[in-house]
Amino acid sequence: MTALAVADPPSEAVAAVDGYVQTEGGLHRLHLMVDGVHCGGCVRRIERALAADPAVESARVNLTTRRLTVAWRGPEELAGHLLRTLADLGFRAVPYDPAQLATAEDAAERQLLRAMAVAGFAAANVMLLSVSVWAGHAQGMGEATRALLHWFSALIALPAIVYAGRPFFASAWQALRRGRTNMDVPITVGLVLAAAMSLFETVRGGEHAYFDSAVMLLFFLLIGRYLDRRARGRARGTAARLLALNAEAVTVLDADGRARALPARQAVPGMVVLVATGERIGVDGRVVDGTSEVDTSLITGETLARPVGPGEVVFAGTLNHGAPLRLAVSAAGEDTLLAEIVRLMELAEQRRARYVVLADRVARRYAPVVHGLALATFLGWTLFAGLAWQTALLYAVAVLIITCPCALGLAVPVVQVIASGRLLQGGSLLKSPTALERLAEIDTVVFDKTGTLSRGAPALQDTAALDPEALRRAAALAGASRHPLARALCAAAPAVPLARGVEEMPGRGLRWVGPDGEVRVGSRAWCGIADPHDSTLPELWLSVPDQAPVRFAFEDSLREDAAEVVAALEARGLEVELLSGDRAPAVAAVAARLGIARWRAGCTPADKSARLAELAREGLRALMVGDGLNDGPALAAAHVSLSPSSAIDIAQNAADAVFQGARLQPVLELLDVARRADRLIKQNLALALTYNLFALPLAVLGQVTPLIAALCMSASSLVVVGNALRLGRRRAA
Amino acid sequence: VSILAWLIPLALALGALGLGAFLWALRSGQFDDLDGAAERILFDDD
């Protein structure tokens, strides 16, 4: 019994709270990352439960970022109590320092939104004034009135450009400093020259000022830029999530047998650690005492629990299902296999960050051409046509304004926003801004087996052949256990009332004493069976007095449309490959059923990652679909990657897109939408360039007035947006 | 034409008012959790 008392999991987060509570005037504030918040219901349950404590002043969950801020008065130690309240509700919370997590991304998005608001305000008001000026040109407005209106425009436009143009100026400056050019360079040059020249014209009382074009351009571009950022979805940093995994405490047994909680990374090789039933193992180590089953899905991707006994090695991040275990620590913190996998992943992610998006590739060619043309216009008019340099400069600036890549700036983000909106309806979430572009380029698809092609959870086999009465009896007992096989049994026999007074013997099975004797559900040994019929499949047995024992076999079944999807991918001319950490016979069987010719079994995380690097060296562009931590490095190393939403957080973080549901069909949908989006983006770029081809001669000849510039720019932007909207429609075929 | 001297500043002031309201809403955190806001309207207490 003493062992059980010690086996109580340490109140992990309580120890870690120290240093995270911020106190200000008697009010304590704690920021927490909460695992498992999915919907408004979770938000409400958490907020209500915390607010029920009279000391709590406020508790607010942010559903977008899955973070909780709680403030209370009274003793600081209440933090531990609050965390236990959360744990009782079934939410694991980890404190964080908001100053550390206030990412540059968030700040940038806010700045863009503010800039967009300012640009929108300026664009509307300047346009109002400009319409008066254009009307005045037709009706003979007095010069003084026109000058007044121009001055007003300048008053609004110049500060707005200085403020709202900063995202572009900063990015252009950075590119130029590194000796490169990007889309923002021509934008910046166009904006600055347009503003400067308009100011010059206003000062000398000229007829045309381009303030409206400049601000409108800025507004459209900011819309494009903001949409671009929003399209990235809820990508959250891998680091923040890992922190949650590593923050767990371990129970260390001292030489005199006393237990104390210690942060996992402070454990030292040689220490003896106690792992309770249901607890996640915090260190790498060797089992000293106890036999149990360990869920290693996080490391190997294998969902069926692995039996372990004295002398066997277990890894940090795995889950102890059966009975309490004592481990001799072999590695902790940064030295564990888990940390090693994470390092592999970060390395691979850095390699991929070098991808250059299509829009930037276009811009790199586009910018020099446009600037060359503007210069040629200026030189041509001054040298050969003998125009005054002011007028020639005016024409040159008009060239820059008209060719400023307004439509180019919208061409890509609008398509991406519509594509991701459509995918979201189908249950797929795009996380990387370049995911669509990269998806459209792939020629190879690499699948993981467990959890990706298969459901990742054991399911009862041959339900039809089983005696329904036996199934009902077994399920009545199994409902009392949280063991994966017991849960699978219950899932196969829903609506069976639970038996009362079921006893669970961890690692062995369940026992219930009924009117006709003792009923047992559990392992072969627990039910006292000497059945020669051996099987590699996991199984449960039911033994009822005076009846033959019944065997329930379980298998991780394939997703129902896996074969169809694999066939459809091959029909699209893609190579399909299977990489699994599982044993060869199991992988071979799955490959044969799905018709996959190329497969590898027994892959470690490093093997998978290496295979993808090998594919990349052969010049192939691979899509990796995987769900486990063991797939993490491979997901990061692939040209583009997908995860089912049932995947662990780290895999979801490494993946470029996440799909929901029990079917594999979203993979096809993602591919098809990506290919259509790619076509539309290229069409849009072509449209934007065609427009420039028509407008450019007008500008070079000095025929572009502000009115024509405004009309051209709006028209080209509308055409591009309109073309992108076609993606939202259901496909006719 | 002298009416312009009134109307233009008035139009600008109204626009600036809207801009100010948006920036205030942004600063006071009303755009921080758009997903949460969509769910919160369904809570029947608070």
The confidence score (pLDDT) of residue A392 equals 86
A451 pLDDT higher than 90: no
A427 pLDDT higher than 50: yes
Chain B contacts of A129, Cβ < 8 Å? 8
Q: How many CB pairs under 8 A join A and B?
A: 53
A8 or A171, greater pLDDT: A171
Interface of A with B in 191-220 (CB under 8 A): none
CB proximity A129 to B under 8 Å: yes
The confidence score (pLDDT) of residue A162 equals 94
CB proximity A128 to B under 8 Å: yes
- Name the residue in chain A with its Cα closest to that of B38: A40
- Hey, what amino acid is at A680? L
- Name the residue in chain A with its Cα closest to that of B9: A152
A45 pLDDT higher than 90: no
- Name the residue in chain B with its Cα closest to that of A151: B8
* Minimal C-alpha gap between B15 and chain A (Å): 6
The confidence score (pLDDT) of residue A121 equals 92
A126 or A483, greater pLDDT: A126
* Minimal C-alpha gap between A513 and chain B (Å): 45
Maximum average pLDDT range among A316-320, A450-454, A464-468, A718-722: A718-722
Rounded Cα distance between A493 and A471, Å, is 7
Distances (CA, A) of A610 to A111, A488, A605, A635, A637: 40, 35, 9, 11, 8
Digit-coded pLDDT (tens) for B1-46: 678 778 888 888 988 998 899 889 888 888 777 777 888 888 776 5
Q: Do A43 and B23 touch (CB under 8 A)?
A: no
The confidence score (pLDDT) of residue A140 equals 79
A154 pLDDT higher than 90: yes
The confidence score (pLDDT) of residue A250 equals 77
The confidence score (pLDDT) of residue A566 equals 92
Q: Do A63 and B35 touch (CB under 8 A)?
A: yes
A312 pLDDT higher than 80: yes
A518-531: average pLDDT: 79
Confidence of residue A352 (pLDDT cuts 50, 70, 90): low
Looking at chain A, the whole-number percentage of residues with pLDDT higher than 70 is 86
Confidence of residue A532 (pLDDT cuts 50, 70, 90): low
The confidence score (pLDDT) of residue A122 equals 93
The confidence score (pLDDT) of residue A687 equals 86
- Name the residue in chain B with its Cα closest to that of A119: B19
A12 φ, ψ (degrees, to nearest 5): -50, -55
CB proximity A121 to B under 8 Å: yes
A124-151: average pLDDT: 86
The confidence score (pLDDT) of residue A351 equals 59
A454-482: average pLDDT: 79
Identify the residue among A67, A103, A109, A121 best suited for mutation to test binding to B, counting B beta carbons within 10 A and taking the highest.
A121
A371-390: average pLDDT: 87
Q: Where are the alpha helices (DSSP H) in A595-705?
A: 605-617, 632-637, 649-654, 665-700
The confidence score (pLDDT) of residue A243 equals 44
Range of lowest pLDDT (A294-303, A318-327, A350-359, A408-417)? A350-359
The confidence score (pLDDT) of residue A119 equals 94
A292-300: average pLDDT: 74
* Minimal C-alpha gap between B36 and chain A (Å): 5
A350 or A666, greater pLDDT: A666
Looking at chain A, the whole-number percentage of residues with pLDDT higher than 90 is 9
CB proximity A114 to B under 8 Å: yes
The confidence score (pLDDT) of residue A164 equals 93
Range of lowest pLDDT (A141-150, A363-372, B7-16)? A363-372
Rounded Cα distance between A696 and A671, Å, is 37
DSSP for A554-622 reads EEEEEPTTHHHHHHHHHHTT-EEEEE-SS-HHHHHHHHHHHT--EEE-S--HHHHHHHHHHHHHTT--E
Q: Do A125 and B15 touch (CB under 8 A)?
A: yes
Q: Where are the alpha helices (DSSP H) in A386-512?
A: 389-403, 406-425, 435-439, 468-478, 484-492
Contact in structure between A626 and A442 (CB atoms under 8 Å)? no
Nearest-CB residue to A63 (from B8, B31, B33) = B33
Q: Do B15 and A121 touch (CB under 8 A)?
A: yes
A30-59: average pLDDT: 83
Range of lowest pLDDT (A327-331, A340-344, A387-391)? A340-344
* Minimal C-alpha gap between A730 and chain B (Å): 26
A446 pLDDT higher than 90: yes
Contact in structure between A680 and A726 (CB atoms under 8 Å)? yes
Chain A contacts of B12, Cβ < 8 Å? 125, 152, 156
* Chain B interface with A: residues with Cβ < 8 Å: 1, 4, 8, 11-12, 15-16, 18-19, 22-23, 26, 31-36, 38-40, 42-43, 45
A497 pLDDT higher than 70: yes
Nearest-CB residue to A117 (from B4, B22, B38) = B22
Sign of the Cα torsion A93, A96, A98, A102 reads negative
A533-555: average pLDDT: 78
The confidence score (pLDDT) of residue A234 equals 44
Range of lowest pLDDT (A75-79, A111-115, A262-266)? A262-266
The confidence score (pLDDT) of residue A11 equals 41
- Residue whose entry in the numeric block shows the structure tokens 């000391």: A55
Q: Do B32 and A113 touch (CB under 8 A)?
A: no
- Name the residue in chain A with its Cα closest to that of B40: A40
- Hey, what amino acid is at A440? A
A610 pLDDT higher than 50: yes
Confidence of residue A531 (pLDDT cuts 50, 70, 90): low
The confidence score (pLDDT) of residue B39 equals 81
The confidence score (pLDDT) of residue A117 equals 92
Identify the residue among A44, A145, A148 best suited for mutation to test binding to B, counting B beta carbons within 10 A and taking the highest.
A44
Rounded Cα distance between A629 and A648, Å, is 7
- Name the residue in chain A with its Cα closest to that of B12: A125
CB proximity A63 to B under 8 Å: yes
CB proximity A103 to B under 8 Å: no
Confidence of residue A18 (pLDDT cuts 50, 70, 90): low
Digit-coded pLDDT (tens) for A156-168: 999 999 999 998 8
Q: Do A64 and B34 touch (CB under 8 A)?
A: yes
Nearest-CB residue to B39 (from A40, A65, A128) = A40
Q: Do A121 and B16 touch (CB under 8 A)?
A: yes
A83 pLDDT higher than 70: yes
Q: What is the mean pLDDT of chain A?
A: 80
A557-565: average pLDDT: 86
A544-553: average pLDDT: 83
The confidence score (pLDDT) of residue A484 equals 72
Q: Do B26 and A110 touch (CB under 8 A)?
A: yes
- Name the residue in chain A with its Cα closest to that of B44: A44
A238 or A475, greater pLDDT: A475
Chain A contacts of B45, Cβ < 8 Å? 48
- Name the residue in chain A with its Cα closest to that of B25: A114
Q: Do B18 and A64 touch (CB under 8 A)?
A: no
The confidence score (pLDDT) of residue A623 equals 92
Q: Is A528 left (phi over 0), alpha (psi -120 to 50) or beta?
A: left
B16 φ, ψ (degrees, to nearest 5): -65, -35
Q: Do B36 and A61 touch (CB under 8 A)?
A: yes
The confidence score (pLDDT) of residue B20 equals 92
* Minimal C-alpha gap between B25 and chain A (Å): 11
- Burial class, A311, CB count within 10 angstroms (exposed 0-12 / middle 13-18 / buried 19+): exposed
Token readout for A422 is 């459509």
Q: Give ∠ CA A339-A345-A349 in degrees, rounded to 5.
A: 145
DSSP for A265-333 reads GG--TT-EEEE-TTPBP-SEEEEEE--EEEE-HHHH---SPEEE-TT-EE-TT-EE-SS-EEEEEEE-G
Confidence of residue A235 (pLDDT cuts 50, 70, 90): very low
A529 pLDDT higher than 80: no
Confidence of residue A347 (pLDDT cuts 50, 70, 90): low
Nearest-CB residue to B26 (from A39, A62, A113) = A113
CB proximity A110 to B under 8 Å: yes
Q: Active-site residue numbers of A?
A: 448
The confidence score (pLDDT) of residue A8 equals 37
Chain A contacts of B4, Cβ < 8 Å? 145, 148
Complex prediction ipTM: 0.81
Range of lowest pLDDT (A250-254, A438-442, A587-591, A595-599)? A250-254
Q: Give ∠ CA A615-A618-A621 in degrees, rounded to 5.
A: 55
CB proximity A144 to B under 8 Å: no
CB proximity A33 to B under 8 Å: no
Identify the residue among B7, B24, B43, B44 best suited for mutation to test binding to A, counting A beta carbons within 10 A and taking the highest.
B43
Digit-coded pLDDT (tens) for A61-70: 887 777 788 8
Maximum average pLDDT range among A38-42, A302-306, A377-381: A377-381
